[in-house]
């Protein structure tokens, strides 16, 4: 009798281990890559993509970037590209549960010229990758309170994703001003 209980316990334990291996916790989230970083940079700069730079995030720049994000940014440095007054930023930001990767290109006038969803990792809300939605961001600037200069219509069921995209767009505009040595108008 004791041997049968032991055998049954071992079988149940083995099944649990197999299930954990076969279905890891992160498997519930699909990772959809809409655009590679290289293709995003080609949209911003054409064939002459500048070399990557690193911006240490500290002081007033960190304060303004975090104000635009609405929370503390965990990174110490941000990678960016800068050429002829145009900057490009690739930033990860949490949507609901998982981060999404966003590329933002800002022209010399300080307006959003390109905005792309590079990677999306949530089961819902991926509609923000649609060009018709992202078109709303083109031409937006930064206001004096580190917000976007115009409204952005949301998407039903994707409120957190839209909010995250808004925050990253504002953060990229703050960072653009910082690398350009500009102050808020």
Instruction: Give tens-digit pLDDT for 37-84.
Output: 999 999 999 999 999 999 988 888 888 888 888 888 888 889 999 999
Distance CA 142, CA 97 (A): 27
Q: Which of 178, 182, 185, 183 is nearest to 62 (CA)?
A: 178
Q: Higher pLDDT residue, 17 or 97?
A: 97
Cα diameter, the chain: 81
Residue 185: pLDDT above 60? no
pLDDT at 29: 58
Least confident of 7-11, 95-99, 163-167: 7-11
pTM for the complete prediction? 0.79
């Amino acid at each position: 009798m004791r041997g049968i209980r032991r055998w049954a316990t071992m079988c149940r334990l083995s099944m649990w281990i197999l299930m954990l291996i076969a279905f890891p916790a992160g498997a519930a989230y699909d990772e959809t890559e809409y655009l590679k970083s290289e293709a995003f940079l080609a949209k911003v700069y054409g064939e002459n993509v500048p070399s990557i730079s690193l911006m240490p995030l500290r002081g007033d720049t960190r304060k303004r970037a975090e104000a635009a994000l609405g929370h503390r940014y965990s990174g110490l440095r941000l990678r960016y590209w800068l050429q002829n007054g145009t900057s490009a930023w690739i930033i990860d930001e949490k949507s609901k549960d998982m981060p999404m990767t966003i590329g933002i290109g800002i022209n010399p006038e300080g307006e959003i010229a390109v905005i792309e969803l590079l990677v999306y990792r949530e089961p819902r809300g991926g509609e923000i990758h649609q060009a018709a939605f992202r078109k709303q961001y083109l031409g937006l600037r930064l206001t004096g309170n580190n917000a976007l200069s115009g409204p952005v219509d949301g998407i039903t069921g994707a409120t957190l994703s839209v909010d995250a995209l808004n925050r990253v767009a504002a953060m990229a505009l703050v960072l653009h001003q910082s690398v350009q040595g500009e102050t808020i108008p």
